[in-house]
Amino acid sequence: EVQLLESGGGLVQPGESLRLSCAASGFTFSSYAMSWVRQAPGKGLEWVSAISGSGGGTYYADSVKGRFTISRDNSKNTLYLQMNSLRAEDTAEYYCAKTGVAGWFDFWGQGTLVTVSS
Amino acid sequence: EIVMTQSPATLSVSPGERATLSCRASQSVRSNLAWYQQKPGQAPRLLIYGASTRATGIPARFSGSGSGTEFTLTISSLQSEDFAVYYCQQYDNWPRGTFGQGTKVEIK
């Protein structure tokens, strides 16, 4: 059974940093691209970042490029999202998602809430 | 950026009735279209990928159709557990996939 468990969310002030983690199990982690998708309170879904199975390819939405860094540790079956220079508009539930062979998201974690507020 | 537009924003349907949800892309995404269901307080769940292929474990009452710029998700006979928000997502320019704004299916 595929399981994705996010952690690391919390309340931070604007300009601060936070690192999210996503522990994966139930599949061969290194064989799949992984992504982060966020959802602001009461809003729709927004793709944030993706990383290839090997970690050699990383991709970002324009809204987070230069501030967020995605990475993975295939020896630990864990995905990360380092978020720097956080802004109020980054407030959202952050989901990690296993990415299907062509780009759909076939499994999602339960989410971790990031709140950026002074 | 490919913009996905869903309609209607809210759909009121009685249990047992058919629900038809639409999704339009601002440019062709071929068949690279997925549908997700999200219930309050839960993560999204994949229903359909490749525009018409049901994901593992998804009941046959869910069906997807379309290609290019026009897509449809049909729920043939709504069950109580189907009342939720539904999102379409294009992944033609993966990884920069984009989502529609969602359609809420509510009880009439």
**pLDDT, mean over chain A:** 97
pLDDT at B10: 98
pLDDT at B9: 97
Q: Which of A33, A44, A104 sits opposite B49 (nearest CB)?
A: A104
Say if A32 is an interface residue toward chain B (CB within 8 Å): no
Q: What is the pLDDT of residues B47-88, one digit of tens each?
A: 999 999 999 999 999 999 999 999 999 999 999 999 999 999
Say if B87 is an interface residue toward chain A (CB within 8 Å): yes
What are the chain A neighbours of B45 within 8 Å (beta carbons)? 108
The whole-angstrom separation of Cα A104 and Cα B33 is: 8
pLDDT at B106: 95
Q: Which two tokens stand for residue A78?
A: 């864990």
pLDDT at A67: 98
pLDDT at B44: 98
Tell me chain A's radius of gyration from C-alpha atoms. 13
Q: Which of B46, B96, B99 sits opposite A106 (nearest CB)?
A: B46
Asked if A45 and B32 come within 8 Å (Cβ–Cβ), the reply is: no
Q: Is the pLDDT of residue A101 over 90?
A: no
Asked if A105 and B50 come within 8 Å (Cβ–Cβ), the reply is: no
Q: What is the pLDDT of residues A14-70, one digit of tens each?
A: 999 999 999 999 999 999 999 999 999 999 999 999 999 999 999 999 999 999 999
Q: Is the pLDDT of residue A11 over 90?
A: yes
Q: Is the pLDDT of residue A3 over 90?
A: yes
Q: What is the DSSP string of B8-28?
A: -SEEEE-TTS-EEEEEEESS-
Q: What is the pLDDT of residues A87-98, one digit of tens each?
A: 999 999 999 999
The whole-angstrom separation of Cα A103 and Cα B95 is: 6
* The B4-7 sheet, strands edge to edge: B4-7, B19-25, B70-75, B62-67
